[in-house]
C-alpha cells in the first residue's frame, strides 16, 4: 500500500515519463495512477494524518480530473490561456493543489488555482470544487454554474447532488468518487471512459 510520500513520488514519475512517452502510453499511465488514487487507504492513520492524506488525495484527483474531460470548443482555453480550478470552502485542498500544479501543465496548458468565497462570482472556471459546505451553500454554488461548461465536484457524503458531476465519498476508508453522466451532459461535458472505469458508481440519469 502506498503511503503519501510514495504516492507523490509516483505523481512526479508519471509526469516526467508522460512528457517523454507517446501520448497513448501517457494516458495509460495516468489511468493506472488514477486507479491507484482510488484505492489509497486512509486506515491506520491518526486523526490528523488521515485528514491530511484525504486532503492530499482529493487534491491529486482534482488535478487528474482535468485530463479526463473534453470541454466544448467555446470553453477550451486558447493558446497561452490556463485551465482554471476554483476551490470553495476548502483552503487546505486549494493549497495542496497549488503545490501539485506548480511548474506543471495539463495537455500543454498551465493550471491556475483560485480560492473562492461564497460572495464571489465564480467567473471563468473549468473545474469548481465545493468543499464540505452546508446544503444551502452547496446548492447556491452549484446553481451559479448550472448548465455551463464547468466540471463540478463536491464532497457531500454518500450521494450526488443535482448539478454535481463528480462527488467524493469515503468507502471502506478509501477515497472514491461517483459520477453523474446526466449532470455532465447538462454542462456540455464529455467524460473519458477511463474516468468512468475507475469511478465507484456511475449514474446515467433518471435519479
pTM here? 0.78
DSSP secondary structure letter of residue 66: G
Per-residue pLDDT of 57-87, as tens digits, reads 999 999 999 999 999 998 888 878 999 999 9
Structural domains in the chain, CATH included, are 4-203 (3.40.50.2300)
pLDDT for position 125: 94
CA distances (Å), 134 to each of 47, 140, 155, 170, 172, in order? Answer: 22, 10, 11, 18, 24
pLDDT for position 185: 95
What is the pLDDT at residue 9?
Answer: 47
DSSP-assigned letter for residue 160: P
30-64: pLDDT as tens digits: 554 555 555 555 555 556 677 888 999 999 999 99
Amino acid at each position: 500500500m502506498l503511503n503519501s510520500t510514495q504516492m507523490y513520488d509516483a505523481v512526479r514519475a508519471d509526469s516526467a515519463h508522460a512528457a517523454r512517452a507517446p501520448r497513448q502510453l501517457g494516458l495509460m499511465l495516468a489511468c493506472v495512477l488514477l486507479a491507484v488514487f482510488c484505492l489509497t487507504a486512509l486506515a491506520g492513520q491518526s486523526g490528523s494524518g488521515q485528514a491530511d492524506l484525504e486532503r492530499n488525495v482529493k487534491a491529486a484527483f482534482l488535478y487528474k480530473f482535468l485530463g479526463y474531460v473534453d470541454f466544448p470548443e467555446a470553453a477550451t482555453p486558447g493558446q497561452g490561456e490556463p485551465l482554471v480550478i476554483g476551490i470553495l470552502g476548502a483552503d487546505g485542498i486549494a493549497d495542496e493543489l497549488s503545490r501539485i500544479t506548480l511548474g506543471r501543465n495539463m495537455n500543454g496548458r498551465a493550471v491556475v488555482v483560485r480560492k473562492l468565497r461564497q460572495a464571489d462570482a465564480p467567473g471563468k472556471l473549468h473545474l469548481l470544487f465545493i468543499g464540505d459546505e452546508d446544503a444551502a451553500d452547496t446548492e447556491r454554488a452549484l446553481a451559479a454554474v448550472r448548465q455551463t461548461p464547468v466540471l463540478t465536484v463536491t464532497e457531500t457524503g454518500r450521494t450526488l447532488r443535482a448539478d454535481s458531476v463528480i462527488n467524493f465519498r469515503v468507502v471502506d476508508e478509501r477515497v472514491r468518487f461517483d459520477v453523474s453522466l446526466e449532470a455532465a451532459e447538462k454542462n456540455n461535458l464529455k467524460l473519458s471512459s477511463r474516468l468512468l472505469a475507475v469511478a465507484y458508481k456511475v449514474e446515467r440519469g433518471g435519479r
